[in-house]
Amino acid sequence: MPSLFITDHPKKMPRWQRSFALLLAVVLGGAAVAYAAWRLSLDLALAQTRDDAQRHLRFVAHELTGALDKYEAVPQVLARHPALAGLLAEPASKTQQAAVNALLEGVAHDAAAAAIFLIDARGLTLASSNWREPQTFVGQNYAYRPYFRDAMASGGGHFYARGSTTGTPGYFIAHRLAGATAGVVVLKVSLDEMEANWARSAGELMLADARGVVFLASRPEWKYRTLQPLSDATRKELHDTQQYGDLPLPALAREPSRTSTELRIERIATAAKKLRALVTEQSVQGRGWTLLSFTEIRGAEQIATGRAWAAALGWVSLLLTLAYLQLRRRRARERLAAQGELRAAYDSLETRIAERTRELQARVDELHRTEQTLRATQDDLVQAGKLAVLGQMAASITHEINQPLAALRALNDNARVFLERGMQADAETNLQSIDSLTQRIAAIVGQLKGFARRDELRVQPVVVAEAFQAAVALVSAEARRQRVRLDCLPVPEGLAVLGQQVRIEQVLVNLLRNGIDASAEKGGGTVTLQAEVDASQALLRVSDDGPGLSDDVQARLFEPFFTTKRRGDGLGLGLSISASIANALGGSLQGGNRPEGGAQFILRLPITQSPHGRA
């Protein structure tokens, strides 16, 4: 039986075609979103620009009307003045003419008008405020001017034109004199200050008359050009009235633009370039003039372009977000599928981390124990060094104590004899001497006990003068024995360093004893102990008159168990221990030769506040 249904399986679209279609859809969608955002942003920006320009034009028109209206009453009031009527009645009277010239000159000055002049019925100027100037209006005939004809016909006239006599443009306000004697008084107002204000303000403005001739503009190149080409009849009429003299009055170079269908966008030529601007108009009520504003739209287009790019980026971001969410869902499914393997790997990693942590902790504990052992060994080494120094000084110290002991025995025997003989005063003198000698022995023993005492490293302020005094006291016997003079220079007042009293004394004793031995090699000399201040450090300097240090000795100066003394006179640990003590106290120990001969060692330690209150 034949099959009733035939199923067609269309071929699946190749992968590259699917990718191309998807990319095309993304690009077209982004372009559509960007264009819509650009169109909407540009229309809103242009509409706002148009509203701002219209408000500005209404303000300028009101300002212009107000500036001109305040002059309307001046010719009306002057028309009633009897002096003007008297001059019209007697035009040949020089007295009348002089009086009216002076009157018009004063009024023009007070009203800040460009000029005020009187015309008779034939158009001849009889008097003027500029009668003193070379280009005076007096004697000129202005019967061809529209303001004269309108004033004679209807009582008043208004006209903007370039002056045919002076060439200076202005706005003319004319009023006919009432009475039997016919004549017209005219006031001329200059608009140059207003035009200068336009040039300084933001935006581009122009003012055109009823025929489309621009007579005021914020740009000089726009002035006396037309909004559209003039007809021959219009040009003849302008020539007859001499409103703009013989100027050619070419048309402005303007081209319409299609940026917006609802707004008027034009390209208008300037001196430097063509300005692409939004055109807004406002009529000046009662005068037939039109105010035009040209606002450049480049800023609005830049804003719209920026928003279009932002919309395109937003579109791309949206697609990337959707792709990310899709990828995240796929990854979530993969993570759920591989959760068992990840859990096993995580547990194995935790086990390895725990084992590694235990190993590291064991190594840290071992390092801590090693550090404690090293610190104890270092303390033992420092103590051994002090005891070695005491052993090497034993003979000198024994001699230092034996002298007072021998004197004590002699004084004691003498005191017994004095008492037997009843010589009480002599016995008391001997007892005082015995007391002084015992104090001397106690001081020597106290120095030795303090120097030999085992102590822990505790950093605190140490007065340098006290450390110098104690160190000199310990080696003075040795110095006398070897006929070496100790010279302890004055220490800066209140100088204190950060360290430990006994350990600083130990370093100084080692350096002094080395200096004494070196000076004794030359049969005696001087060992100098000196303290200096260098910035935030104190320099404790020990120098001698010995043979100095060779290059080989300087290279191994602080090497343990290295010594230049005879066998049995030293272990070679003194300088090594001293350098270790200096480093532990935050300082350093340096050795070298002096230019004048001999060696010197400098112990550098940080300066601190003296425990007695002085730095």
* 395-414 pLDDT per residue, tens: 455 545 655 665 566 567 66
Question: What local confidence, expressed as pLDDT, does residue 149 receive?
Answer: 92
pLDDT of residue 442: 61
pLDDT-derived band at 252, boundaries 50, 70, 90: confident
Across the range 370-399, mean pLDDT stands at 59
H/E element holding 490? none
pLDDT at residue 391 is higher than 90: no
pLDDT category at 1 given cuts 50, 70, 90 is very low
The mean pLDDT of 435-441, rounded to a whole number, is 62
d(CA 490, CA 501): 19
Confidence band of 476 (pLDDT split at 50, 70, 90): confident
Asked if the model's pLDDT at residue 353 lies above 80, the reply is: yes
Provide the pLDDT for residue 6.
44
Arithmetic mean of pLDDT, 6-30: 72
Percent of the chain beyond pLDDT 70? 82
Using CA atoms, how far apart are residues 594 and 603, in angstroms rounded to an integer?
15
Residue 214 — φ and ψ, nearest 5°? -80, 115
Q: Does residue 319 surpass a pLDDT of 50?
A: yes
Q: Which residues of 241-269 are buried (b: 16+ CB within 10 A; e: fewer)?
A: bebbeeeebeebebeeeebbeebebbebb
Answer whether residue 124 shows pLDDT above 60: yes
From residue 519, give the alpha-carbon distance in Å to each of 124, 154, 321, 349, 482: 129, 132, 87, 70, 9
Residue 394 has pLDDT above 60, yes or no: no
The mean pLDDT of 200-224, rounded to a whole number, is 87
For residue 484, list its beta bridge partners. 525
Per-domain boundaries in the chain: 70-190, 193-300, 375-606
With a cut of 90, say whether residue 125 has pLDDT above it: yes
Q: Is the pLDDT of residue 7 over 70?
A: no
Residue 449: pLDDT over 70: no
| CA 78 vs CA 170, 185, 309: distances in Å | 20, 7, 67
Q: Which of 228-232, 254-258, 580-584 has the lowest mean pLDDT?
A: 254-258
pLDDT reading at 30 higher than 90:
no
Asked whether residue 212 carries a pLDDT value surpassing 70, the answer given is: yes
Third-level CATH fold of 375-606: Heat Shock Protein 90 (3.30.565)
Return the H-helix or E-strand segment holding 283.
Answer: strand 274-284
Q: Which residue has the higher pLDDT, 93 or 401?
A: 93
In what order do the strands lie in the sheet containing 484-488? 484-488, 525-534, 537-543, 599-606, 588-593
**70-190 and 193-300, same CATH topology:** yes
Which pLDDT score, from 0 to 100, does residue 467 have? 87
The CATH class that applies to domain 70-190 reads alpha beta
Predicted confidence band of residue 379 (pLDDT cuts 50, 70, 90): low
What is the rounded distance in angstroms from the CA atom of residue 66 to the CA atom of residue 45?
Answer: 32
Q: What is the 3-state composition of the chain as percent helix, strand, coil, each rounded to the nearest 5?
A: 50, 20, 30
Q: How far is CA 9 from CA 13, 14, 16, 21, 265, in A?
A: 12, 15, 20, 21, 58
Asked whether residue 393 carries a pLDDT value surpassing 50, the answer given is yes
Question: Alpha helices of 393-463 — where are they, by DSSP H?
Answer: 394-420, 424-452
Whole-angstrom distance, CA of residue 514 vs CA of residue 386 = 14
Task: Note the pLDDT of residue 172.
Answer: 94
Round the average pLDDT of the chain to a whole number and report it. Answer: 81
Is it the case that residue 300 has pLDDT exceeding 80?
no
Asked if pLDDT for residue 313 goes beyond 80, the answer is yes
Q: What is the mean pLDDT of residues 511-527?
A: 85
Q: What SS3 class is residue 58? A: helix
What type of residue is 500?
Q
Of 24-38, 71-85, 373-387, give the range with the top mean pLDDT. Answer: 71-85
Least confident span in 6-15, 25-34, 446-455, 530-539? 446-455
Domain 193-300, CATH among 3.40.50.720, 3.30.200.20, 3.30.450.20, 1.10.10.410: 3.30.450.20
Question: Which of 4-13, 203-212, 559-568 is most confident?
Answer: 203-212
Torsion of CA 52, 58, 61, 63, to 10 degrees: -90
pLDDT band at 3 (very low <50, low <70, confident <90, very high): very low
* CA 13 from centroid of its chain's CA atoms: 61
Can you list the positions of beta strands (E) in 444-491?
460-463, 484-488
Instruction: Give the integer Cα–Cα distance in Å for 247 and 140.
Output: 21
Helices (runs of H) and strands (runs of E) counted in the chain = 15, 18
What pLDDT does residue 43 have? 74
Q: Does pLDDT of 581 surpass 70?
A: yes
Mean pLDDT over 273-285 rounds to 85
The string of DSSP letters for 548-596 reads: ---HHHHHTTT-TT---SPTTS--S-HHHHHHHHHHHTT-EEEEEE-TT
Please give the backbone phi and psi of residue 173, each rounded to the nearest 5 degrees, phi first: -120, 115
Cβ atoms of 504 and 605 closer than 8 Å: yes
566: how many CB neighbours lie within 10 A of its CB? Answer: 7
Q: Would the pLDDT of 5 be above 50?
A: no
Position 34 pLDDT exceeds 50? yes
Separation of alpha carbons 453 and 437, rounded Å: 24
Beta bridge partners of 24: none
* Residue 197: how many other CB atoms lie within 10 Å: 13
- For the residues 189-197, what does the mean pLDDT come to? 89
